[in-house]
Structures are given as structure tokens and as C-alpha cells.
Amino acid sequence: MDVNYKAQKLLRLKFELDYNIINDIKICGDFFIHPEEKIVLIEEALIGIKINEVKKIVDDIILRENIQIIGFTSNDLQNALQQ
Amino acid sequence: MQKWRLIKTIIGSGKMQMAIDEAMMFARSKRIVPNTLRFYKWSPACVSIGFFQNINEEVDILKCDDLGIDYVRRYTGGGAVFHENEVTYSIVLSEEDVPKDIVHSYRLICGALVKGFEKLGVKAEFKAINDIEVNGKKISGNAQTRKNGIVLQHGTILLDVNVDKMFSLLKVPDEKIRDKIIQNVKERLTSLEGKFDFNKVKKTMISAFQETFKIKFKEEKLTEKEEELAKKLYKEKYSTIEWNNGR
């Protein structure tokens, strides 16, 4: 499934759902993540997760891995997936 | 007064410019070179995409090939940019010389550009996250990455802009409303409207950077190590399909 979601920057998501559970996800867009390479950790952490748990999982991982996201929030990501 | 390095204008492909920026950042992290500013030109014209973008979603590759326009994925986040009639800068500096907060550091570095615009008689202002605007319209986009205690920020100063040409190369998120998107960008984008040439803008911005950071620049070449690394990154990273396809 492809979703474009306008947060402060544009989120372009490609994902597969099995009922409400994320099987695969790629997070693209014109946002910033520091350090950039850690986006993979966010994507991996979301596999097997229910959509309504996305915000909590992303909040946990950005805190644990000291990741800074500029241009969208964990809430935006969850809302985009719920669309 | 602290001396920072200024690199002479390099005219080259987008892939080489991105390789040089990364090589400068690496050299700074190894303390081989001081904080460094440079201005450069993209030849041929080029579309760059952000680190988190996918080239096939953002760029009409066939159209680029037809028109002899290059494309490259940046080391930094942000959006797709068509680089043609612009002054591009990059600055590499220690994290200690900018605020830890990333948006605040954009504000500081972009503040130097705002001062430069003022010197040109153009009233500009920083617009968070990463833009500079004149009369509420974007004239400069900027992008930053941080690695090993070093900040790399690069950005554009539009000398002139051709939105129709830009959108002949860029894909839009929703093709059904392409015309509306183009119209919207035309209303939100501006430039120096051909009133100043590259060298005038460069010289003015150098002076503004010196005042902002209270430093003096010394013009030098890239070191041999930087040149070697840039050639390697050009070949093994920025020229590869794997890198440029993006995410």
C-alpha cells in the first residue's frame, strides 16, 4: 500500500498490512532524521506491530537510540498508516 | 581571529560535488582541515534528491537523460531540488561551533545568508525548518547532516528560477493535481531575478559568513587526501545506481 501524508514535511510510505499488523514498511520523504542511517532501525521496529502501537514504538526507539526526527512526529506516522 | 578555510569555486557534476562535500566533512572530522566554506556550480545542471527519497518517485529519469541533466542523491535529507541557475554553498564545521539543537543551528548558518541577502539589498528571513524567504517566498533551501562531531550544511541561493523546466523533470505526489501543484510552487518560490551574478553573490556571502562567525577566511585548495577521497566517493558511492535509487 502507498500513502502520502502531509506532516510538516511529506511522508511517503510503502507498507504491507496483515489485518492490522505491519508486515513490511519503507518510510520515504523530504524530512530529516539524525543520524540518517537509523531510519532502518525505526522501520525494523515496526515490523509485526499493530498500527495503533506505532506511536509508542517510535517514541521508544527514538529515545533509546537517540534519534532526532525533523519534519514529522510519531503521531503523524501512526495517523498516516491509519488513513 | 580564527582562520577558516575557503575553497575556490569548483564547477563540476552533482555527483562530484556531493563527493567533495562528504570528503571535506571526513577530513574535518580527522582534524586535517579547519572549518571550511565553499561555493560551487553544478555542471551539467542536476536534480538532487534527499537521503530519504526514492529517485523513481521524485525524478523523471528519462526526461533528465533526454535533456542531459544529471541526478544524484544527497548525503542530507530534505527534498528534490533542480540545480541550474543558483549559487550553492557548503559549510563543514565542528559541532562545537553551532548550537546543539539542529533547527537553531540552521537558524545560525542561514542567518549568515540572511545577512548576505541584506548586503545585496534584499530583505530576507529564516523560515524554520530549513528555508530562507523573501516576501514570504522561498529563495533558499538548506540541508544538514552531522557525523562524528562535524556538521555539513549545504544549500542553494536561487539566482533565477524556471519552475516549468523544474517540473518537467520532477514527478509530483499526485499527478491529478500537477497543474495546481506547479501553480502553488510558482506562487511560493522566488529568486534574485537575475539581478546579481554568481561571483557577486559569492563575495557578499563570504563577507556575511565572516561577520556572523567572527572569523576570517583563507582561500586554499582541497588537500590531496580530500581529493583522493572525493574521487573514491564519486566512483564508489555517488555514481552508483544503488546509492542514487535511494530508498
Q: How confident is the model at residue B175 (pLDDT cuts 50, 70, 90)?
A: confident
3-state secondary structure (DSSP) of residue B228: helix
Q: Please give the domain boundaries of chain B with CATH numbers for all domains.
A: 3-245 (3.30.930.10)
By C-alpha distance, the chain A residue nearest B56 is A28
Q: How confident is the model at residue B69 (pLDDT cuts 50, 70, 90)?
A: very high
Give the A:B interface size as CB pairs under 8 Å. Answer: 63
Contact yes or no for B151/B93 (Cβ under 8 A): yes
Query: In whole angstroms, what separates CA B207 from the centre of its chain?
Result: 19
Cα–Cα distances in Å, from B168 out to A12, B56, B60, B151, B178?
21, 14, 8, 33, 11
Calculate mean pLDDT across residues B38-65: 97
Using the Cβ of B145 and the Cβ atoms of chain A, whether some distance falls under 8 Å is answered with yes
Find chain A residues with C-beta within 8 A of B152's C-beta.
none
Grid cell, residue B75, equals 548525503
Calculate mean pLDDT across residues B73-79: 98
Q: How confident is the model at residue A83 (pLDDT cuts 50, 70, 90)?
A: confident
The DSSP bridge pattern shows strands B131-134 and B137-147 to be antiparallel
Q: What is the pLDDT of residue B180?
A: 94
Q: Is the pLDDT of residue B59 over 90?
A: yes
By C-alpha distance, the chain A residue nearest B247 is A28
Using the Cβ of B11 and the Cβ atoms of chain A, whether some distance falls under 8 Å is answered with no
CATH number of A24's domain:
3.30.390.50
Q: What is the pLDDT of residue A82?
A: 93
User: ipTM of this complex > 0.95?
Assistant: yes
Domain that includes residue A9, residue range: 2-82
Count: domains in chain A: 1
CB contact under 8 A, A71 and B144: no
CB contact under 8 A, B173 and A36: no
Please list the residues that pair with B92 across neighbouring strands: B36, B152
Grid cell, residue B6, equals 575557503
Contact yes or no for B188/B137 (Cβ under 8 A): yes
Contact yes or no for B141/B106 (Cβ under 8 A): no
Q: Is the pLDDT of residue B174 over 90?
A: no
By C-alpha distance, the chain B residue nearest A4 is B173
Supply angle C-alpha B155, B105, B47, rounded to 5. 20
Q: What is the pLDDT of residue B173?
A: 85
Calculate mean pLDDT across residues B21-40: 98
